């Protein structure tokens, strides 16, 4: 458990490097979402991600992280996060795909995730789950302003999930991010007893709600030690943005700049 009071305030020079890493991560994320096709294996998809990351001049922030074996995380359907590409897993039109990727470049890190259907029409409940998770992230980001506390972000995310009646995952949380992939503080997706640290300009947070169609309870795969799945096998969704706290509006660092 990270020290709940500790925060990292990045310098302007660090923020410039973090902004660049985050932008590259966003570009690769959106490119990967366009390139995802039924019939590919998740290993092929991971390798495609590896080449796109290499083309940016950076490297995967995940590969080798605590022994993680993939370039990115690719989690299908009831897999919540940390799914590993596999040669025997062929992506199907019905699959709900979550991609989570990180790029390290010039001593800074980006981290971002999205969820989408691969092609088949989505059932109304799955479409709702994806939309609600995206909306919860937006609600959390809206509270990421100076003077608020981490818990304000957490409570906003949880409220959107509860109102929609989805399972709000508790075992995995958002985090500070920037120079290292995971920095203090933790950013839970539910209101905790502690209000956590106060937000100040220069903090960078990776905010990442994980919502399930059924129970909030999850298990880690016993064999690979990574893949997180819902206990009841119901579908899960995950979105993640990195956000810079500023004197004004929060800056979404993983929102691709069009200029």
Q: For ligand MF3, give the closer residue by CB, 95 or 240.
A: 240
CA angle, residues 93, 235, 35, in degrees to nearest 5: 35
Indicate the residue among 66 and 258 with the shorter CB distance to ligand MF3.
66
Per-residue x/- marks for Co ion, 89-118, CB under 5 A? -----------x----------x-x-----
Q: CA geometry: angle at 110 spanning 107 and 114, to 5°?
A: 165
* Segment 94 to 113, residues that bind ligand MF3, using CB under 6 A: 100, 102, 111
Q: Which does 96 bind (CB under 5 to 8 A by kind): Co ion, ligand MF3, none?
A: none
Neighbour-count burial of 56, counting CB atoms closer than 10 A to its CB (0-12 exposed, 13-18 middle, 19+ buried): middle
Helix (H) / strand (E) element for 26: namely helix 12-35
Restricting to residues 37-96, which ones interact with ligand MF3 according to CB under 6 A?
62, 65-66, 68, 73, 82
Q: Residue 44 is encoded by which pair of tokens? A: 């092929």
- The pair of three-digit structure tokens given for residue 17, joined into one six-digit string: 């490097």
Closest CA to 2 of 182, 226, 228, 243: 182
Residue 183, contacted partner among Co ion, ligand MF3, none, CB below 5-8 A by kind = none
Instruction: List the single partner that 255 binds among Co ion, ligand MF3, none, CB under 5 to 8 Å by kind.
Output: none
| Stretch of residues binding Co ion (CB under 5 A), selected from 32-40, 212-220, 237-245, 248-256 | 237-245
208 binds ligand MF3 per the rule CB under 6 A? yes
Are the CB atoms for 171 and 220 separated by under 8 Å?
no
- Contact footprint for ligand MF3 (CB under 6 A): 62, 65-66, 68, 73, 82, 100, 102, 111, 206, 208, 240
């Amino acid at each position: 458990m990270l020290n709940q009071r500790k925060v990292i305030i990045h310098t302007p020079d660090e923020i410039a490097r973090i902004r660049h890493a985050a932008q590259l991560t966003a570009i690769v994320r959106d490119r990967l979402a366009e390139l995802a096709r039924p019939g590919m294996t998740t290993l092929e998809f991971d390798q495609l991600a590896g080449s796109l990351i290499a083309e940016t001049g950076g490297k995967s922030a995940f590969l080798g992280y605590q022994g993680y074996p993939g370039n990115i995380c690719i989690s299908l359907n009831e897999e919540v996060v940390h799914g590993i590409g596999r040669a025997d897993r062929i992506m199907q039109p019905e699959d709900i795909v979550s991609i989570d990727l990180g790029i390290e470049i010039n001593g800074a890190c980006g981290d971002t995730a999205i969820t989408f259907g691969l092609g088949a029409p989505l059932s109304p409940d799955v479409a709702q789950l994806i939309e609600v998770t995206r909306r919860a992230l937006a609600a959390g980001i809206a509270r990421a302003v100076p003077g608020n506390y981490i818990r304000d972000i957490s409570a906003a995310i949880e409220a959107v999930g509860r109102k929609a009646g989805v399972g709000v995952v508790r075992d995995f949380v958002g985090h500070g991010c920037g120079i290292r992939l995971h920095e203090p503080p933790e950013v839970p997706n539910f209101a905790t007893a502690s209000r956590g640290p106060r937000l100040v300009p220069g903090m960078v947070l990776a905010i990442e709600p994980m919502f399930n169609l059924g129970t909030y309870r999850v298990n880690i795969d016993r064999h690979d030690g990574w893949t997180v799945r819902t206990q009841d096998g119901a579908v899960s969704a995950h979105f993640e943005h990195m956000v810079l706290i500023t004197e004004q509006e929060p800056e979404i660092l993983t929102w691709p700049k069009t200029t």
